[in-house]
Amino acid sequence: MACEQLSKSIRLRKLLGIVLNVGNRLNTAGPSTKGKAGAFTLESLLKLNQAKAFDKKTTFLHYIIVIVKRNDEELLTFKDDLSAVFLAGKIYWDQCILDLEEAEDQLENLRMVALKQARQMRPEWVNKRRGKKVSDNCSISDESISLEEEVSMLRSTDIGCFTLSAIKEISALREKVEKTQRTYRKLLEYFGEDEKGGMQTHELFEIIVTFSRNFDSALKEVEATEKEKVSRMQGIASLRNKSFSVLNL
């Protein structure tokens, strides 16, 4: 969900476009010989509130917000498109993969135990290929039983039934994991990030989360500055009115 929200958010896409355009204007202004950039890394978003203007107060992020407020205020709420991202940023995907692999290994051990138990409880199981009984001291793998035979054996015991149910759930989970991995690779491609660069899911999502929080903080500062300017202008206007009143008297 987090991957899809990031790739489908129109507001985020437009906002990043503004960041790129403004950055290019600033970099190519004056005598600079720099050419226009075609893109920027996601990590660059975390530096927008660090680059400051000559007044040492206004940051690049402040300037972006001013532009957005003047042209398309709807982009200010881009964070509303990314609810799952804030949750996904707390998930360590590598650990999830390790947990799944461990569960698969444990399930395989359980499957072997369940087959052994079924063989011991039902010695009449016959290997249809060889036409002989499965001996107690012979491993199931050595007997090369078919899938149908294995399922029948597992269904004959409680632990076997549980194993079949667990295999179904773990298999479905594995499919979701592989689908998510494909989706994440597409997201890296969407953002122009090198898949071989090794950016983990929680790192990418945390960048977006941190940028969103920096954006909200800068927005509050811009609004506070604008409010202060309005208040100051109203104060000046009030003084002028009083001055005119005195002159009239």
Question: H/E/C letters for each residue in 156-173?
Answer: CCHHHHHHHHHHHHHHHH
* pLDDT value of residue 32: 55
What are 21's two structure tokens? 């355009």
Report, as an integer, the average pLDDT of 44-72.
Answer: 89
Residue type, 4: E
Q: CA–CA separation, 116 vs 111, rounded Å?
A: 9
Q: What is the pLDDT of residues 157-175, one digit of tens each?
A: 899 999 999 999 999 999 9
pLDDT tens by residue, 184-242:
999 999 999 887 777 899 999 999 999 999 999 999 999 998 888 877 776 666 666 65
Q: Where are the beta strands (DSSP E) in the chain?
A: 126-127, 132-133
* Cβ within 8 Å of residue 135, ≥6 positions away: none
What distance in Å separates the CA atoms of residue 173 and residue 180, rounded to the nearest whole number? Answer: 10
The single-letter code of the amino acid at 64 is I
* Ramachandran assignment for 6, one of left (phi > 0), alpha (psi -120 to 50 degrees), beta (any other): alpha
Share of the chain above pLDDT 70, in %: 81
Q: What is the pTM of this model?
A: 0.77
List, in order, residues 6 or more apart from 136 with CB less than 8 Å away.
119, 120, 123
